[in-house]
Amino acid sequence: GENVEQHPSTLSVQEGDSAVIKCTYSDSASNYFPWYKQELGKRPQLIIDIRSNVGEKKDQRIAVTLNKTAKHFSLHITETQPEDSAVYFCAALSGSARQLTFGSGTQLTVLP
């Protein structure tokens, strides 16, 4: 089945700096890669997603890049703000099972 690895597990940045979270996946047939944000005690919420026919997607301060050859994708957050502090999960939609496999999460802390 699909295996998704996410790094780093924790990340601290100064307010205004950029943050990058990376994920690798194992199933070359995976074709959909979402990112979810989970604030403390809250439910995960979709913040951005990308399909395998696109290399990059942006939405204001967040962007996702995908390298199909290397089987990795990354979340980029620019001009970080304290409200960006949360756990971020990547996921991949496997080609065969058609179910999402999630990474283990990254705790992002934005220091004021």
Partner 1 sequence: NAGVTQTPKFQVLKTGQSMTLQCAQDMNHEYMSWYRQDPGMGLRLIHYSVGAGITDQGEVPNGYNVSRSTTEDFPLRLLSAAPSQTSVYFCASSYQGTEKLFFGSGTQLSVL
Q: What angle do CA 70, 98, 42 make, to 5 degrees?
A: 90
**Binding of residue 66 to partner 1 (CB under 8 A):** no
Note the residue count of the chain. Answer: 112
Decide: helix, strand or coil at residue 109: strand
User: What residues from 3 to 32 belong to the interface with partner 1 (CB under 8 A)?
Assistant: 4, 6, 9, 32
Q: How far is the CB of 91 from partner 1 (least distance, A)?
A: 8
CB of 46 to partner 1, least distance (A): 6
Residue 31: CB atoms within 10 A of its CB come to: 16
- Applying CB under 8 A, which part among 14-22, 44-52, 55-63, 70-78 lies near partner 1? 44-52
Label residue 52 exposed, middle or buried (CB < 10 Å: 0-12, 13-18, 19+): middle
Contact residues for partner 1, defined by CB under 8 A: 1, 4, 6, 9, 32, 34, 36, 42-46, 49, 89, 91, 93, 98-105
